[in-house]
């Protein structure tokens, strides 16, 4: 059995304007250059769930420790991503488990 990551980080975003989804993905993709995650993905929601269609974009990352997640959030690219995405997004829901 493979070892599970210490922390999984999942964030859902919705765009204020559907035309901005690609720009949101571009802004969130900056986070891939932060070295503290073991796995990092940004994907457009395929909206296959008939009961929930709020999220346009999903960020998924795995971290070896809480310290790695903290270092990820302290990196300058994290703030740059926020600066680019915040004006374009409506909903943001994050979960760390």
Give the mean pLDDT per block of 10 residues along the chain (97 residues). 81 98 98 97 90 92 97 98 98 96
pTM: 0.90
Q: Which CATH number fits domain 7-96: 3.30.70.100, 3.40.50.300, 3.40.50.150, 2.170.16.10?
A: 3.30.70.100
Two tokens, residue 66: 């809480």
Q: What is the pLDDT of residue 40?
A: 98
Phi first, then psi, for residue 31 (nearest 5°) are -65, -20
Look at residues 59, 60, 65 and name the one whose alpha carbon lies nearest to residue 6. Answer: 65
Q: At what angle do helices 66-74 and 76-85 cross, to 10 degrees?
A: 60
Domain boundaries, the chain: 7-96
Cα 89 from chain centroid (whole Å): 12
Q: What is the pLDDT of residue 51?
A: 80
Q: What is the pLDDT of residue 2?
A: 59
């Amino acid at each position: 059995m493979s070892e599970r990551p210490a922390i999984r980080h999942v964030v859902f975003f919705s765009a204020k304007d559907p035309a901005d989804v690609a720009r949101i993905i571009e802004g969130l993709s900056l986070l891939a250059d932060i070295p503290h995650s073991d796995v990092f993905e940004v994907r457009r929601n395929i909206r296959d769930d008939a009961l929930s269609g709020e999220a346009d974009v999903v960020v998924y990352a795995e971290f070896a420790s809480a310290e790695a997640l903290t270092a990820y959030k302290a990196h300058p690219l994290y703030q740059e991503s926020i600066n680019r995405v915040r004006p374009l997004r409506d909903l943001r829901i994050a979960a760390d488990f």
